[in-house]
Amino acid sequence: MIEKLLIKNYLIIKEAELNFKSGLNILTGETGAGKTIILDALSLILGERADYSLIRKDNDKLIVEGQFEFKKDKKIITFLNENEILSENDSDVVILRREIYKKGISRNFINDTPVPLNVLKSFGDLIIDIHSQNEHQSLLKKETHIDLVDNFSGEELIFKEYKNLYDDYKETIDKYEEISRKKDELLEKKSYIEYQLKEINNVNPLENEDEELETELNKLENVEEISVDLNNALSLLYERDNNLIAGLSNVIKELKKISKYDSNLDKIIDDLNNSYIVLKETSDYLNNYNSSLNFDSLRIEQIRERLGAVNFLKKKYNLSINNIIIKGKELLEELNYAENFDFEIEKLLKTVNEKKEILFKKAFEISALRRKAVNSLEKSVNSYLDEVGLESAQFKVENSITINKEEDFFIYRKEKNNFFLSAKGFDDIEFLIRMNKGVEYSPLRKTASGGEISRIMLAIKSSLSNRDKVPILVFDEIDAGISGRIADKVGKLIKSLSKTHQIISITHLPQIAAMSDNHFHVSKKDVNKETIAEIKLLNEKEKIEEVAKLLSGEKVTDSSIRTARELIKG
C-alpha cells in the first residue's frame, strides 16, 4: 500500500503531504481545486512522462515522492533484486522519487538508487492501476486481457510450467538455428579449411621445434669457434702443467698434512674433494663434447630448410609454433563437424519436434482452463455491470486462436488448424463490450468512454478481488454520470473492493464519500497574489460536514447533517 505521498512545486500545490491508510481513501473538493493534480503527481512517480510546464512558477524543481509498504511481497522483492535495488535493512518500505527540473532534466529513484524511467514504469505497473479519462489504463491494453483471465482462473502453477517449457523450447530452436547457420558458414569455407589443414599437416610442426632447431643451427654454424674455445677451456682444466685439476689436487694433499694437527680442516678438505670430483666430471663431459663436434653442411641445410617451412607458417598465421599446432587440431574438429552436420542437425530437429509436441499439449491444457475461466468471468462481470449503472451493457471475452505464418517453428499444425505458440499459449483474448442492447460487440478500447471504463474496471476488479495481484487501485471520478440508488451500489462495491485492495478515489457523490476510511478535502485559496491548493485530512466532525456539503451544496442544513450522519453510519 501507499503510506505517504509528498508533492512539492506542482502547479498550484506548493507543498503537500498525504498520509494514506489501507482501505478506502477518498478525495473531495471543488472543481479545479487540485484533486486531479494529486493523481497526476502519483502517475509521475509511476513512470509517466514529465511535462516541464507543470513546475510551479518561480521554482526550478518539481518533486514527487511516494512511500510504499509491501509485507514480504515476493514479486516486489524479485523486481528489486533483478534491478539491483537495495532495501534498507530488509525493510518492507519502498520509496519512489521523481525530480523534474526546468532545464529539461528528469531524475528517477527507487530507494535512493537512480533508475531509468522504464524501470520506474515497470515497478508502477506491478503495484498500481490508475483509472481515469486522462491516464493510461491497463484495461485498454489488449495484451493485459489474457493476464486478467489467467489471474481469474487461479491456476498460477500451470502457467509457470508452460512458460518454462516455452523458454526451453525457444532455447533449443536458437541452438538449432545457430548450428544451421554455422553449417552454412562452414560449408562455404570448407575448401579453405581443408587447404589450411593440409598446409599445416604437410609441415607437421612439433612443440617448441623452432627453438630447438635455432639452437642446433647456431651450434653447427659456429662449430670451429666453439672448438677453439673449448680446447682452451680443457687446457686450463687439466692439460697444461699448472692446470686447475692438478693444482686443486696438490692443495688437497697439503691440507691433509695439516689436518692431522687440526681436525677443523676436515670439512674444507671434504668440500675441496667434492669440487675436484665436479671438475673431473666436467672435464670428461667437455672432452666428449669436443670429440663429438663435427661440421655437417648437409645437416645445416636440412635445418635451414625445416626452419624456413616452420617460420613460413608462423608468419602466415601470425601465431607461435605451439599455437599453430592447436589451430591444426581446431581445423580438424571444424572439418569433422562440417562433415557430420547433417546428423547433428537431424538429431536436434527431432528434439525440437518432441519439445513442440509437449509445449502444445501444455498450451492445450491452459487453453481449456482459460475457456472455463472466460465463461465464469463473463458471468461475474455482467452481474456487476448493472450495479455500477451500466444496466444495458453486456461484457464478453473473445477467445480465438493466434495465427502467425512467419514463425514456422512456433506454428503447431493439427488437422486443419494452425496454432501459433507464443509465450502465453495459443489463445488470443480480447475484452468486448456492447453498451446498449441490440448493437454489435466491439473492442472495449474502442467503445467505452472514460467514465464507463472506470465502472467496467470496477466490475472486473470486483470479480478478481481475491485473485488480482495489483494491490493499489486509483479511480478518478468513477461516479461520473450516476446518482441515487446506483451511486449507493457503486459505493458498496468500492467499499467491498477496499477490503482486498487499497483504494484511492476522487468522488463527488456523498454515498461514496461517506464510506471512506480516510477522507481528504482539497481546496484552493489566494495567498500573496497567488493561488495555492490546500489538502486537509478530515476528522470525523469535518467528514460529516463535507458529506453534508456534497448533499446540499455550500449551505449546510440540519437536515443534510442528519442525512450525512446516516450515510456514514451505513
Q: Strand runs (DSSP E) across 102-212, as ranges? A: 106-110, 113-114, 128-131
SS3 257: helix
pLDDT of residue 364: 94
Is residue 135 scored above 50 in pLDDT?
A: no
pLDDT of residue 132: 62
Nearest Cα to 463, choosing from 503, 422, 500, 517? Answer: 500
pLDDT of residue 95: 92
pLDDT digits (tens, 9 = 90+) for 41-61: 898 998 888 888 889 888 889
Over residues 13-17, mean pLDDT: 90
Q: Measured between alpha carbons, how far is 476 from 496 in angstroms, rounded to an integer?
A: 18
Looking up cell 468471468, which residue turns up? 377
Nearest Cα to 443, choosing from 485, 371, 509, 395? Answer: 395
The answer to whether the beta carbons of residues 521 and 549 sit under 8 Å apart is no
Q: Measured between alpha carbons, how far is 301 from 194 in angstroms, rounded to an integer?
A: 30
CATH topology of domain 1-133+464-538: Rossmann fold (3.40.50)
| 499 phi and psi angles, rounded to 5 deg | -80, -20
Spacing of C-alpha 473 from chain mean position? 26
pLDDT digits (tens, 9 = 90+) for 137-150: 567 788 889 988 99
Is residue 134 scored above 50 in pLDDT?
A: no
Neighbours of 200 (CB within 10 A): 20
The answer to whether the beta carbons of residues 237 and 290 sit under 8 Å apart is no
Q: Measured between alpha carbons, how far is 242 from 235 in angstroms, rounded to an integer?
A: 10
Q: Where does the pLDDT of residue 279 fall: very low under 50, low under 70, confident under 90, or very high at 90 and above?
A: confident
Instruction: Write the single-letter amino acid at 25.
Output: N
Q: Where does the pLDDT of residue 419 fall: very low under 50, low under 70, confident under 90, or very high at 90 and above?
A: confident
The answer to whether the beta carbons of residues 8 and 63 sit under 8 Å apart is yes
Helix 244-259 and helix 266-292, axial crossing angle in degrees, nearest 10? 160
Q: Which of 15-29, 42-56, 76-90, 516-530 has the lowest mean pLDDT?
A: 76-90
pLDDT digits (tens, 9 = 90+) for 379-405: 999 988 988 888 889 999 999 887 766
Q: pTM, whole model, 2 decimals?
A: 0.62
Q: What is the largest CA-CA distance in the chain?
A: 142
pLDDT digits (tens, 9 = 90+) for 492-509: 888 988 988 899 999 888
DSSP string, 466-484: TT----EEEEESTTTT--H
Instruction: For the chain, give every domain's residue range.
Output: 1-133+464-538, 193-339
Per-residue buried b or exposed e for 527-566, using 16+ beta carbons within 10 Å of the residue's own CB: eeeeebbbbebbeeeebbebbbbbbeeeebeeebbebbee
Q: Over the chain, what is the mean pLDDT?
A: 86
Q: What is the share, in percent, of the chain residues with pLDDT greater than 90? A: 34
DSSP string, 414-472: ETTEEEE-BTTBSEEEEEEEESSTTS--EEHHHH--HHHHHHHHHHHHHHHTTT----E
